[in-house]
Amino acid sequence: MMKEAESYPLLFSREQIAEKTAELGAAITRDFAGEKVVLVGVLKGAAIFLADLARQIDVVCTFDFVAVSSYRSSTTSSGAVQLIKDLDHTVEDRNIILVEDILDSGLTLNFLRRHFEGHKPRSLRVAALLDKPARRKVQVEADYIGYPIENHFVVGYGMDYAEHFRNLPDIRILPADAIARIDAEKH
Ligand code: IMP
Ligand code: MG
């Protein structure tokens, strides 16, 4: 699987990702100098980005995680997002940095923003490694964005297709024939 995936078109190399993650970490470090932050990762896609970003942030920092499920099948138009796992710790009066792998329709971020605002944090910012602005269905933006991208389906560095490819070290564009093969294996 790994060998085959190495032939998929490369979008961002591990070196590019590391460079961008360091920039984002430096910006967060500047913005929160003298304060504490809680990094809230959205499982599972953001886990690897959070792990690397956290090590580029030089302020006191804790971790928490949430998990959501979204119904994005063509038969559903509601775009409903459901919370599967909530925060372990209260975020009241905390500086939250929500860490996402990629912003697509914006439905997940919109849902989580409202959810966290209900918990009265001191501040709420969003860090997303990738952003597909052309795909937005609801108007939400991240405060720290790694790379804006075109409308490609990407995998690697935590991001998956049907749970595959999260462990690829680079970010690659998933070709249509690979999608078809994975879909066929599911049946
Ligand atoms: P949104 O609610 O449509 O913005 O969806 C955001 C989530 O969809 C991301 O956190 C990813 O888990 C997933 N997603 C969106 N685009 C991609 C992609 O190109 N590759 C892998 N996952 C994606
Ligand atoms: Mg995700």
Residue 159 alpha carbon to ligand 2 centre in Å:
7
Rounded mean pLDDT of 80-105?
96
Q: Is the CB of 101 under 6 A from ligand 1?
A: yes
Share of the chain above pLDDT 70, in %: 95
Q: Residue 74's pLDDT is what?
A: 47
pLDDT at 47 over 80: yes
Residue 59 has pLDDT above 60, yes or no: yes
Q: Which amino acid would we find at residue 141?
A: E
Size of the chain, expressed as the number of residues it contains? 187
Cβ of residue 108 lying under 6 Å from some atom of ligand 1: yes
Q: Does the pLDDT at position 73 exceed 60?
A: no
CATH architecture of the domain with residue range 14-152: 3-Layer(aba) Sandwich (3.40)
Task: Report the nearest-CA residue for atom 13 of ligand 1.
Answer: 102
Instruction: Name the closest-CA residue to atom 8, ligand 1.
Output: 104
Phi, psi of 130 (to 5 degrees): -125, 155
Q: Give the pLDDT confidence of 117-172 residue by residue, as tens digits.
A: 999 999 999 999 999 999 999 999 999 999 999 999 999 999 999 999 999 999 99
Amino acid letter, 123? S
Ligand 2 centroid from CA 120, angstroms = 24
d(CA 160, CA 107): 18
Q: In the predicted model, what is the mean pLDDT of residues 65-85?
A: 77
Averaged pLDDT of the chain: 94
Shortest-distance atom of ligand 1 to CA 161:
21
52 CB within 6 A, ligand 1: no
pLDDT value of position 56: 98
Whole-structure pTM value: 0.94
CA distance 58 to 157: 22
Question: Is the distance from the beta carbon of residue 110 to the nearest atom of ligand 1 less than 6 Å?
Answer: no
pLDDT reported for residue 78:
61
Kindly report the protein residue whose alpha carbon is nearest to atom 15 of ligand 1: 104
* Interval 2-29: pLDDT, tens: 788 999 999 999 999 999 999 999 999 9
Is the confidence at residue 187, as pLDDT, over 90?
no
Please report the sign of the dihedral spanned by the C-alpha atoms of residue 48, residue 155, residue 103, residue 28.
Answer: positive
- Indicate if 104 belongs to the active site: yes
